[in-house]
Amino acid sequence: MVHEFQFDQAVCTYHVTQFMLGQAWQLVEPHVLAAAIYVDLRERGLDGAAAVQAIRPQILGRYAVIVYERCCDPTHVHNSRAWQELRGWLQKQTYNIAIHVNDREDVLQETMLQLQTTLDNAGLAVPRTLWMYALQVLKRKAIDMYRVDTAVSRGGGTITLSLEDMSAEGIDRAALAGTQHALTGLDERRIENSVSNREARTELKAFFQQQLRSEQQQLVAELHFLDGLSPKEIAALLGKKPHEIRMVKARVIQTLRALPTDEQERLLRILDAAAEEEVHDS
């Protein structure tokens, strides 16, 4: 006769710790999360294998609450870490995007649905900002993968992606390999080709927020220049018409070109730094 093992707090802590280490989640100590999970599972009368199987959904639901709360509180000490972990989870879905070449839009929708289900199960009403961020990350990865596909197919080769290629920096480097550009003047193309560096992305985003007068212009600038979305894609995302987005984009370009000399020079310095990073990474 096989006796089922006893499920105690040490066992619960072990499984929670292993799962969190595998995900690189650091917003809460594993033993703290495990203690809450253990109490809940015992109150539900679960033991042995049944209790162990219930740990993962508990972790996902409870950790989703933690990430959500940290992301929504810009004053929290772990706010940046929370956004980083959310982005990390989204970027892990790149694997699914990579292997579903012809169905990437469906994969994006399924990933968003998975995120929504996890948060709904945790009783969270997600603000539009978080959804926009999640969709931007996934859209950017899909676009990067498409650029890699196109570059490889034009060269007559086949697509072989390593684990490094599917990482945050790996995709950007692969997509930009061999695309060094002459740095001449302040133009739209120069901005687009300089945003792979994470630090430059952060600086450019802050620059747009400072220099562009409306939230709509800031959002369009970020989606277009930082995430590579076309006016048509941005229009679909924001529920607008493509020509409306093109008009906003034109005003953004006009504003950037009309900046004082010192501000244009500051923008150029950001772009120069990004270009130098591309050279080092190539």
How far apart, in Å, are the Cα atoms of 256 and each of 155, 206, 221, 244, 250?
36, 14, 11, 19, 10
Q: How many residues does the chain have?
A: 282
Q: Is 72 within the bounds of a domain?
A: yes
**137, 204: one domain:** no
**100, 14: one domain:** yes
Domain finish residue from 76, 110, 141: 141
**34, 113: one domain:** yes
Cβ atoms of 20 and 59 within 8 Å: the answer is yes
Q: Is 151 within the bounds of a domain?
A: no
Q: Assign 266 a pLDDT band (cuts: 50, 70, 90).
A: confident
pLDDT on residue 155 = 52
**130, 80: one domain:** yes
Tokens for 7, please give them. Answer: 């499920």
Calculate Rg over the CA atoms of the chain. 22
- The string of pLDDT tens digits covering residues 216-261 is 888 888 777 766 678 887 877 667 788 888 898 888 888 888 888 8
- The string of pLDDT tens digits covering residues 33-86 is 999 999 999 898 888 888 888 898 889 888 888 888 888 788 888 888 888 888
Q: Is 165 within the bounds of a domain?
A: no
pLDDT on residue 159 = 40
Q: Assign 94 a pLDDT band (cuts: 50, 70, 90).
A: low
How far apart, in Å, are the Cα atoms of 94 and each of 100, 101, 142?
10, 11, 8
Whether pLDDT at 20 is above 80: yes
Tokens for 148, please give them. Answer: 């890699």
Average pLDDT, the chain: 71
**135, 44: one domain:** yes
Whether pLDDT at 12 is above 70: yes
Tokens for 36, please give them. Answer: 């809450």
Overall pTM > 0.95: no
Q: Is 160 within the bounds of a domain?
A: no
Q: Is 157 within the bounds of a domain?
A: no
Q: Is 167 within the bounds of a domain?
A: no
pLDDT on residue 213 = 80
Q: For the stretch 169-195, what's the b/e string if a residue is b when 16 or more beta carbons lie within 10 angstroms of its beta carbon?
A: ebbbbbbbeeeeeeeeeeeeebbebbb
**192, 255: one domain:** yes
Full residue range of the structural domain in which residue 121 is found: 9-141
**13, 136: one domain:** yes
**134, 216: one domain:** no
**29, 105: one domain:** yes
Q: Is 155 within the bounds of a domain?
A: no
Q: Is 92 within the bounds of a domain?
A: yes
Q: Please tell me the total count of domains within the chain.
A: 2
**17, 137: one domain:** yes
